[in-house]
Amino acid sequence: MMCLLLGPAGVGKTLLVKRLQNILPRRAGGCRTGKGELGEPPPTRPTVGAAGQVATRASPERRRTLCLRCPEPSRWSLVGVGADAEAGRRGVLESQCAASGSWGGTDSAHVLSAACFFSQVGTDLTDIGGPRKITIRELGGCMGPIWSSYYGNCRALLVGTDLTDIGGPRKITIRELGGCMGPIWSSYYGNCRALLFVMDASNPTQLSASCVQLLGLLSAEQLTGASVLILFNKIDLPCYMTLEEMKSLVRLPDIITCAQQNITTAEISAREGTGLAKVLHWLQDTHRASS
């Protein structure tokens, strides 16, 4: 079953996925998975840089997994885009070119360890050697308003998406999409059977934007048959809003009444592990019902 994990930037989606991956092994070993039982939270980075059909972020330890499929003709154009300097576009291009020996002799190990790049404010053309020559045009995040000027001869697009498999009797694949990817979320609705939408319970200023995104998801025709779980994350923080407060602010009862989807809500803390077992149970029950 394919499950989409969506929500604004900074709500804790990546940490949630990593925590869910750890729940099943710990439960199989007889460990509890309640508050504080999952240990220290692992480090995370914004989900904003990946390649084609390969789910990978531009972190140094994973850049070598970048794979580019090149159809005919022998020379074609590929556009790499991302929200900002944190997207790691430059690092992906440099590491791939170093691995293929087409980056002017730059040592690949040095490139992979590089942590700082100049801000991209223009457009860079990079050739990746091989049997079929690939030209990558990198566009800076600040160039967003004019990205469309370069779509003409583009045959592939680098975007950010992470795929995570949750083990168990029934395999569940969670596709996490970065908050800055909101304009292209609809490209991934096709085979979605379940939807996790995360909201930050500690950030009232983001609540209205989250509600707008949620309404857009619920009105999408491709998601009418999907089951939806709305997660209010970060309840471990002292400034978090209660479930009743958030329901009242976004008029959630009215949204649930008017929506075509089956909607469930839950309060969680991805950092502490609170409520994550219920999320896993929901995923398994939804998979069972859709089989």
The whole-number pLDDT of residue 271 equals: 92
Q: Are strands 262-267 and 227-233 parallel, antiparallel or unpaired?
A: parallel
User: Cα separation of 10 and 93, whole Å?
Assistant: 26
The whole-number pLDDT of residue 46 equals: 66
The whole-number pLDDT of residue 164 equals: 86
Span 16-40, mean pLDDT? 65
Q: In this structure, what token pair is assigned to residue 280?
A: 């896993």
The alpha helices in the chain, defined as continuous H runs, are 13-28, 89-100, 108-113, 207-218, 243-250, 252-258, 276-290
The whole-number pLDDT of residue 48 equals: 55
Q: Assign 88 a pLDDT band (cuts: 50, 70, 90).
A: low
The whole-number pLDDT of residue 210 equals: 95
pLDDT of residue 212 exceeding 50, the answer is yes
What tens digit of pLDDT does each residue of 185-205 get?
999 999 899 999 999 999 999
- Sheet order of strands, 2-6 included: 161-166, 172-177, 2-6, 192-200, 227-233, 262-267
The whole-number pLDDT of residue 90 equals: 52
Residues making up the annotated binding site are 179, 233-236
What tens digit of pLDDT does each residue of 50-77 get?
333 333 333 333 322 333 333 333 334 4
pLDDT of residue 131 exceeding 90, the answer is no
Same-fold call for 2-42+161-290 versus 63-158: yes
The whole-number pLDDT of residue 189 equals: 94
| 72: phi then psi, degrees, rounded to nearest 5 | -70, 150
- What share of the chain has pLDDT > 70, as a percent? 63
Domains of the chain by residue range: 2-42+161-290, 63-158
pTM (predicted TM-score): 0.65
User: How many C-beta neighbours within 10 Å does residue 218 have?
Assistant: 20
The whole-number pLDDT of residue 279 equals: 95
E strands of 1-58, at which residues? 2-6
Instruction: Give SS3 for 123.
Output: strand
C-alpha closest to that of 172 among 227, 231, 230, 233: 227
User: Cα separation of 201 and 190, whole Å?
Assistant: 29
Q: ω before 73 within 30° of 0 (cis)?
A: yes
Fold of the domain built from segment(s) 63-158: Rossmann fold (3.40.50)
| Architecture of the domain whose range is 2-42+161-290 | 3-Layer(aba) Sandwich (3.40)
Residues making up the annotated binding site for GTP are 179, 233-236
How confident is the prediction for the chain on average, in pLDDT? 74
User: Cα separation of 100 and 82, whole Å?
Assistant: 23
Higher pLDDT, 287 or 137: 287
Q: Which residues contact 157 (CB under 8 A, 6 or more apart)?
A: 78, 79, 80, 81
What tens digit of pLDDT does each residue of 235-244 get?
999 999 999 9
pLDDT of residue 11 exceeding 60, the answer is yes
